Amino acid sequence: MNLKKMAILTKAEAKKIIDKVLSYAKADETSVSLTGGRRGNIRYARNAVSTSGESTNLSLAVTAVFGKKSGTATINEFDDAALEKTVRRAEEIARLAPENSEYMPMLGPQTYLPIDPFSRNTENITPDYRAQAAFDSLDPCRKQNLTAAGYMEDSTGFTAIGNSKELFAYNRETSVEFSVTVRTADGMGSGYATRDVTDTSKLNTREATEIAMQKAQASVGARAIEPGKYTVILEPAALVANTDASLLLAMMGSMDARNAEEGRSFLSKKGGGTRLGEKLMDERVTIYSDPTNPEIPTSPFGGGGGGRFGGGGADGRPQEKITWIEKGVIKNMYYSRYWADKKGVKATPPPANFIMEGGTQSLADMIKSTEKGILVTRFWYIRPVDPQTLLYTGLTRDGTFYIENGQIKFPVKNFRFNESPIIMLNNLEAMGKPVRIGGNLVPPLKIRDFTFTSLSDAV
Amino acid sequence: MQRRDFIQLSSLGIGGLLTAGIPVLGNSVSPEYLIDAAGRGVGIDTAAKKRLADVALNAAKSKGATYTDVRIGRYLQQFMFTRETKVQNIVSAESYGVGIRVLANGCWGFSATSDVTPDAIAKCAETAVAIAKANSKLLTEPVVLAPQKGVGEVVWKTPIKKNAFEIPVQQKIDLLMKVNGEAMKNGATFVTSNLFFVNEQKYFASTDGTYADQDIHRVWPTFTVSAVDRAVGKFKTRDALSSPMGMGYEYLDGLASEKIMALNGLIGYRNSYDMVEDAILAAKQAKEKLTAKTVQPGKYDLVLDPNHLGLTIHESVGHPLELDRVLGYEANYAGTSFATLDKWKTKSFNYGSKLVNIVADKTQPYTLGTVGYDDEGVPAKQWDLIKDGILVNYQAIRDQVAILGEKESNGCCYADNWDSVQFQRMPNVSLKHGTEKRSVTDMIKGVDKGIYIIGRGSYSIDQQRYNFQFGGQLFYEIKNGEIVGMLDDVAYQSNTQEFWNSCAQLCDKDDYRTFGSFFDGKGQPSQVSAVSHGSATTRFNGVNVINTGRKI
């Protein structure tokens, strides 16, 4: 078997390698992580392709543990000698490592939900396919004297984990992310659109680009209006971003129980303890995670980041459907295994996706029912200002419009905002139909009293 | 392409600065391996490197390349993570391979391999040419490469005194445990501390006749101290006032001669850092922040410490003057720039007041951006970006300088690994200090209503670099020439041109020091780079300050 050419291993192939690695192990506990896949991308700017590439990778990481001392070694070669050497190296690093008093023994076998977030169409992407996707985006822009800059990245891969306590898990996964920024030739108008899919047949770069083109053309001649508190319609791309921080991910990323119990989170309670069970936002706000959702399927295990170099990587905990916020009430927080053990509670891992329940209205319906307000395509350069209140700052970008009597009246200059997602979700007016963004399902939201603090000349 | 992993930390990890996590390149190795590998060059002798490089140059040429450069690179990293009394993670990693870039039919092609053997390198060079030829079918404008005279066989090393990779892991852990222990003893509720060490061993060769062997070192010690008052349900943090540096472990010596003493027991660190001393101060200051007075919004004269001003320079001068951004190559991600070519062509665009002199520099000692040669073989140099307040130049590389009517590259091309393509990256960008004798104390004496800001805090700027908002670590209220107490909830908002034109006074060379950014991100797929920004403490008049306090 020439493994270097076969970056996507089957479950059986992966298990065979992991079992072999484990057969060499002499440590108290050993875990193995095997990942592989192909990544391809195409980037264009100034109406021409600037870079394009593809890479495949297959890599194995071994973690050996003696007592509470652990060490990890990685390798890209798969002959028996190389595998055994890697196990020995991990054991050697572990023996010399400092003790981690928060080390938790590895998990035994787990039950995982049957999910296959994989698409043959995405696996079959070729360089020609990427070039065509870029062309479909560039062509309409060139024809209308607009300037396009965009990026598409596809990935097809698998992860298998196993350990000396007989845990084994396998997942294969595909994804495609696309974004495009279209600018007018004079640089006075700019529009943006982004899409992400599991199955690339659901991606139409021309359709997305046409939206960005409309926004670019419609945003020319932006007027300055006074900063202040406004009713806003935030498109899903203004709520979740995969290239920047974002208001909803900031909130979902701050629901760690330990931080809350240690007194340094928006979920910390005055006088000690947490705000679990308290109603912190509008009663229409319900957010849950569900790895089996067919629109945003995810791996049945993992979540919480980490990777081969530690820092809280995939420890084999199953992902399941969990309600985080129900009718505005905080229902769950996530735990490291150490903290859950110490507190005697279930070690719920952080979610791998989330779904915010919405309504049935389209964006157009939401605009129609707005007397006065501002439509926001997206935010940019979003950074935390105060971790206690989750106050964030950032700016509108690539299509900001003034709405009056149910119609878009004129483009407005970009604003800087200073706002907390918690305050925002208390000022909820209406919710539209959720759409996929950054691997999550998020509705457009109409929010009152959203805080814009200054104007920007940026286009 | 080799694996690139990201260590995800909670938002309280490294002062909440990184959203994508900390990138790690290549494979995990033992600390002992790093001791052996550090500072040795790419593991093979110079003659062997030259032979391998020539294989690439010849193979590409025989397939029709008109220009080729090859980088044989070994990138070593050691990152350490602790909290309170615990070591959370020690990452030791090595990434080793070859990247080959060619020009064929007027188009760039790039290919990389981790197989550092003559056959694999020749094949990789052929692939790069094939990619260039394939891409040339879509070509609209052929690449115009500024000439660069070959420099022959040269060697350059960061002038370090102590190789950080050779310092035993236990010694580093002992330091971090002392830092954490002293912070806790002095009132911290929690503390995380980190050490980051990077060694880039790069052998560059090009068809211009350059064979440059370089050994580049960088260090960054940092921490975040938290103080929690559970009774009132409040917490505050204070990050380290260190700077990442182009130095070895000697940066951690804490030499008294490199300290700059300021008002209120504040200490500035020039080219040597006392991490324990800073942690003790941080714990006391984090506690003080819990009861600090909330700021009254309005216009203030700002006195900005170099450890704060560096980030403002980075965001509002460094990025907008990157020529690829100005031209639109980053439009879909980082954005474009307000500092357009037509403004530059007038030779009278007032970027700042007459006091504002900003230089780009790849040669300044102890800094992150300093090298002997850039990643396309251009010797390191220094050039003016803003002179007496006027915009005079940009940051450009070999395939861009013709646009500026120049014949020579600025030498600021960089790739973060052997398997990534080099492109224009920010050199060190620094504000020149004042020529009149002036200390921070002297400067504060002249301020009636102001705020003295120290340290890197929250930062945000729009995609054309007009409107920005910056926070900090420490804020002190100045009234009638004196510091009257600590403030909280401070951020200032301004517009780049307005802000730099409000620059009113500079401290002198004795106050000058550098700040740095260790993981600056740019491009798609994203690459990191490290860059320093020097300045002396500087005064800006009448800047808009907002109050960031909220109740939820």
- Comparing CB atoms, the residue among B8, B86, B237 nearest residue A101 is B86
B235 to chain A: which residues are within 8 Å by CB? 263-264, 268, 387-388
Residue from B6, B9, B10, B100 whose CB has the most chain A CBs within 10 Å, to mutate: B10
Instruction: Give, rounded to a whole angstrom, the gap between the first and last alpha carbons of chain B.
Output: 46
Residue of B287, B550, B551 to mutate when probing chain A, most A C-beta within 10 A: B550
Q: Give me the mean pLDDT over the B318-336 stretch.
A: 96
Distance from CA of B89 to the nearest CA of A (A): 7
Residue in B with minimal Cα distance to A241: B19
List alpha helices for B137-237, DSSP H: 169-185
Sheet bearing A48-66, strands edge to edge: A69-75, A48-66, A29-45, A146-163, A168-184, A190-197
Token pair listed for A215: 């926004």
- Which of the four pLDDT bands, split at 50, 70 and 90, describes residue B41? low
Q: How confident is the model at residue B26 (pLDDT cuts 50, 70, 90)?
A: confident
Would an 8 Å CB–CB cutoff place B521 in contact with chain A? no
The confidence band for A264, taking pLDDT boundaries of 50, 70 and 90, is very high
pLDDT in tens, A135-153: 999 999 999 999 999 999 9
Task: Give the residue on B whose Cα is nearest the Cα of A39.
Answer: B1
Give me the residue label for tokens 């965001």: B315
Report, as an integer, the average pLDDT of A168-178: 95
Q: What is the pLDDT of residue B31?
A: 82
pLDDT of residue B10: 42
CB-based contact, B136 to chain A, within 8 Å: no
Minimum-distance CB partner of A311 among B9, B328, B332: B9
Strand partners of residue A155: A39, A175
Q: Which pLDDT value is given to residue A6?
A: 56
Encode pLDDT of A177-190 as tens digits.
999 999 999 999 99
Q: Which residues of B touch A33 (CB under 8 A)?
A: none
- Average pLDDT of every residue of chain B: 93
How many residue contacts between A and B have a Cβ separation below 8 Å? 252
Tokens of A290: 């569900």
Q: Chain B 69-128, CB below 8 Å of chain A: which residues?
A: 81, 85-93, 110, 114
- pLDDT tens track for B46-57: 899 999 999 999
The whole-angstrom separation of Cα B317 and Cα B312 is 8
Q: Does A253 touch chain B (CB under 8 A)?
A: yes
pLDDT tens per residue across span A30-40: 999 998 988 89
Record: contact A312-B21, CB cut-off 8 A: no
Question: Does A48 contact B471 at a Cβ distance shorter than 8 Å?
Answer: no
pLDDT in tens, A385-430: 999 999 999 999 999 999 999 999 999 999 999 999 999 999 999 9
pLDDT level of residue B6 (50, 70, 90 thresholds): low
Name the residue facing B460 among A48, A55, A394 (closest C-beta). A394
Whether A151 and A41 have beta carbons less than 8 Å apart is answered as: yes
C-alpha A191/C-alpha A213 separation (Å) is 6
Contacts of A41 in chain B (CB under 8 A): 524-525
Query: Which residues on A lie below 8 Å from B35 (Cβ)?
Result: none
Say how far apart CA A330 and CA A277 lie, in whole Å.
5
Please tell me the predicted confidence (pLDDT) of residue A92. Answer: 92
Q: Can you give the pLDDT at residue B39?
A: 62
When scoring A78, A101, A130, A309 by the number of chain B Cβ atoms within 10 A, the one with the most, hence best to mutate, is A309
Q: What is the pLDDT of residues B416-433, one digit of tens each?
A: 999 999 999 999 999 999
- When pLDDT is averaged across residues B443-468 and rounded to a whole number, the result is 97
Residue A312 pLDDT > 90: no
| Residue numbers of B between 441 and 480 with CB closer than 8 Å to A | 458-467, 469, 471
Contact indicator for A391, A453 with CB cutoff of 8 Å: no
Taken in order of first residue, the domains within chain B and their CATH numbers are 22-291 (3.30.2290.10), 294-547 (no CATH)
Residue that wins the pLDDT comparison between A26 and B10: A26
The CA-atom distances, in angstroms, between A61 and each of A36, A85, A155, A305, A448 are 12, 12, 20, 15, 49
Structure tokens at A378: 């997206």
B545 touches B213 (CB < 8 A): no
Which residues are paired to A156 by β-bridges?
A38, A174
Domains of chain A: 3-206 (3.30.2290.10), 216-242+358-456 (no CATH)
Q: Considering CB atoms only, which of A181, A391, A455 is closest to B550? A: A391
Q: Any CB–CB contact under 8 A between B394 and chain A? A: no
Q: Is A72 on the interface with B (CB under 8 A)?
A: yes
**Chain-centre distance of CA A430, in angstroms?**
24
| Cα gap A419→A425, rounded to integer Å | 11
CB-based contact A253 B551, cutoff 8 Å: no
Answer yes or no: is the ipTM higher than 0.90: yes
Task: For residue B2, name the pLDDT band (cuts at 50, 70, 90).
Answer: very low
Mean predicted confidence (pLDDT) in A235-256: 94
User: Which is higher by pLDDT, B2 or B123?
Assistant: B123
Least confident of A68-77, B132-141, B173-182, B264-273: B132-141
Is the pLDDT at B396 greater than 90, yes or no?
Answer: yes
* pLDDT average, residue stretch B174-188: 98
Confidence band (pLDDT; 50, 70, 90) for B12? very low
Cβ neighbors of B351 (< 8 A, separation 6 or more) are B317, B339, B386, B389, B390, B391, B496, B497, B500
Task: Say how far apart CA A168 and CA A15 lie, in whole Å.
Answer: 8
* Interface contact B435, partner A, CB < 8 A: no
Residue A310 has pLDDT above 70, yes or no: no
Q: What angle do CA B462, B464, B467 make, to 5 degrees?
A: 45
Q: Which residues of B touch A383 (CB under 8 A)?
A: 458-460
Peptide bond into B525 cis (omega under 30): yes
Nearest CA in chain B to A459: B464
Instruction: Give the per-residue pLDDT at A197.
Output: 97
Minimal Cβ distance to B24: which of A98, A250, A309: A309
Most B-contacting residue of A31, A41, A43, A51 (CB-CB within 10 A), to test interface? A51
Residue A311 has pLDDT above 60, yes or no: no
B171 CB near a chain A CB, below 8 Å?
Answer: no
A85-96 pLDDT, tens digit each? 999 999 998 998
Residue B21 has pLDDT above 80, yes or no: no
Q: What is the mean pLDDT of residues B386-398?
A: 98
B137 interface with A at CB cutoff 8 Å: no
Q: For residues A87 and A30, is the Cβ–Cβ distance under 8 A?
A: yes
Name the residue among A106, A308, A31 with its Cα closest to residue B8. A308
pLDDT tens readout for residues B122-168? 999 999 999 899 888 878 889 999 999 999 999 999 999 999 999 99
Q: What residues in B contact A386, CB-CB < 8 Å?
A: 489, 548-550
Q: Does A52 score more than 90 pLDDT?
A: no
Grouping H, G, I as helix, E, B as strand and the rest as coil, residue A126 is coil
% pLDDT > 90, chain A: 85
Chosen from B94, B139, B462, B464 to mutate, greatest number of chain A CBs within 10 A: B462
